[in-house]
Amino acid sequence: MGESVSAPTIVGVSRQIREVLRLADNVAASDCCVLIEGESGTGKELVARYICAHSPRRHQPFIPVNCAGISESLFESQFFGHVRGAFTGAEQDMLGVVRTANGGTVFLDEVSDIPLNLQPKLLRVIQEQEVMPVGKPVPVKVDTRFLAGTNVNLQEMVRQGKFRQDLFYRLNIVRIVIPPLRQRLEDIPVLLDHFTQMFSRHYRCQPVILSPQVRDALVQYPWPGNVRELAAWVERLYVTGLAPEELLCMLYSDADAAGLPPPGQPMTLKQAERWAIVQALQKADYNQRKAARVLQVHRATLARKLRQHKIL
């Protein structure tokens, strides 16, 4: 279930990325919790793996957990484990995520999605380093480090009563913020070179050459999906056989459909709001209730905004 971690490559030359790596290096050797903030696609898990790979726990399991994907009814069982017969369907003992990662690291991706009523149980595990398996009322000691990632402002969620303050303080021992790609344009050319070489090796073919005009246009593109979107665009060059100019036109056609501004122009407030809504819907698989939670608004407010922007 877990895996030991080799050091991932984090590509960038910007001051912001150098600061991210400096903080990651500083906290790697300790066992403190680290809260990694950033939009979807900025590389939160990559930074978590980087921290783990430079820590004394690098040869022990690293387990990333998508907190949004764990059902509330199975949370305790999946996190803390259970004993055989603890509930219907529990046909054998299960260690759970925390005990499987014993000696290693758990990365809580999108930690904001953990239901409020279950957050005290996670807090206790982090503070006391012990779990209570379902069906076994005896605490079991563990030695697990916790890293957390979020694409929302947890402090604002605390103010709104949607996230426990004590858990926020426990996770936020050190905070690392990964800026969106549109705020560090100097990283785009080196990322293009990196992914061009990477996919050339992967698909065993010659690297695609990007003209200066294409590269300039790509630097100006706002990349709402951040590094993940850029990597997908480069891979598309290799699997479709289309020319970079053709894929560039398609990229900007999609951006225009999403209401994004022309290259080099800042987003208006209306464009930024529409873009944020579209991103939240995509993250929530177009589930409006989940999208409203991502945006930290009431579902009725989101429904009104969807009508205003003629989305869906």
- Model confidence over 253-309: pLDDT tens digits? 766 555 555 544 555 667 677 777 777 776 776 788 888 888 888 888 888 888 887
Whether residues 141 and 240 fall in one domain: no
Whether residues 137 and 23 fall in one domain: yes
Whether residues 35 and 144 fall in one domain: yes
Whether residues 129 and 161 fall in one domain: yes
Whether residues 286 and 163 fall in one domain: no
Residue type at 141 in one-letter notation: K
Tell whether 263 is covered by a domain: no
Domain with residue 276: its CATH number is 1.10.10
Whether residues 148 and 30 fall in one domain: yes
Structure tokens, 233: 């665009």
Number of domains the chain is built from: 3
Of 242 and 106, more confident? 106
Of 75, 150, 156, which Cα lies nearest the Cα of 117?
Answer: 75
- Model confidence over 164-207: pLDDT tens digits? 999 999 999 999 999 999 999 999 999 999 999 999 999 999 99
For residues 5 and 221, give the distance between their C-alpha atoms in angstroms, rounded to a whole number.
33
pLDDT band at 93 (very low <50, low <70, confident <90, very high): confident
Whether residues 216 and 253 fall in one domain: yes
pLDDT for the residue numbered 244:
92
Q: Pinpoint the alpha helices (H) of 160-298.
A: 165-171, 187-202, 212-220, 226-240, 244-257, 269-283, 288-295
For residues 10 and 7, give the distance between their C-alpha atoms in angstroms, rounded to a whole number.
9
Whether residues 113 and 224 fall in one domain: no
Q: Quote the domain boundaries for residue 23.
A: 15-179
Domain boundary among 179, 202, 234: 179
The whole-model pTM stands at 0.80
